[in-house]
Amino acid sequence: MRNTLLATAAALTISAPAFAGPTFILNDVGGVGVGTQARAGFTAAAALWSSVFSNKVTIDLNVGFQALGKGVLGQTGSTSNDVSYTNVRSALTRDATSVDDRSAVASLAPTLSFMSNTLSGGVTNATTHILENNQANRDTQYLSANTADQKALGLISAQSATVDASITFSSALKWTFDASQGVAKGTYDFVGIAAHEIGHALGFVSGSILPTPTPMPARPASIRPRGAPRSICSATTPRAHATGL
């Protein structure tokens, strides 16, 4: 059985004053060419993140428009791979620069264990919880970490050309690209949604423990096989960010 755990965005160092932090490379894959309103919107959203992080890393994003499902504003497929918990814990320890950082790192257990409500064979029982702490299992040895976080932690090159995420916006919806005077009726705040989606690329993702054989069965959008969207923003679901952050 295999567990995919999602490493958090703790690797990225948040700073109070404005910083020229991460450098964002925006690769147009449809409708986000230089000089377009969408390009300006993505650039503004990326600048919001650069202003609060101090990590000197390069974040490479594919950005574009295409037809999406009904009510879906946008979706993000983050690039990730498995990294040993031991390596992540050591990297976080090296990266700690403040009292809060060191306190958080000190609270990390030397080995990984977790509670799961997914039983043998992939059956989920909401009222049953089992402790997974067998250190011989891959489940308790590895985390699935976004490449953006790995760059921030020094686990891969900070300037690696790896595409860290693909962000897709709905081509069927209308957008307000500059919300400084408000969001027009019948449209959605492009910069707000873009900032939200970039956040997923930076490691702000959700997920659940899912012991399963490979290949993985169907699962919520927050857990996905390589290359599939990790996060979907919808105009109709409770998790929506339909009018911005």
pLDDT in tens, 10-25: 455 544 445 568 999 9
The pTM score is: 0.77
| 174, 243 contact by CB (below 8 A) | no
Please say whether the beta carbons of 50 and 19 come within 8 A.
yes
pLDDT tens digits, residue range 148-204?
999 999 999 999 989 999 999 999 999 999 999 999 999 999 999 999 999 999 998
Q: How far apart are CA 11 and CA 83, in angstroms?
A: 14
**Six token digits for residue 74:** 């946008």
What value does the mean pLDDT of the chain take? 79
If you search the block for the tokens 């956040």, which residue do you land on?
199
The SS3 assignment for 215 reads coil
Among 84-98, 120-134, 228-242, name the one with the lowest average pLDDT.
228-242
Is pLDDT of 107 > 60? yes
What do you get for the CA distance between the two ends of the chain, in Å? 37
What's the confidence (pLDDT) of residue 139? 78
Q: Which two tokens stand for residue 90?
A: 């050591």
Residue 234's pLDDT band (boundaries 50, 70, 90)? low
Contact (Cβ atoms closer than 8 angstroms) between residue 169 and residue 38? yes
CA nearest to 86, candidates 148, 146, 153: 153
Question: What does the pLDDT average to over 222-242?
Answer: 41
Q: Domain map of the chain by residue range?
A: 9-234
What mean pLDDT is predicted for residues 123-135? 70
**Rounded Cα gap, residues 172 and 176, in angstroms:** 14
> What pLDDT does residue 27 have?
98
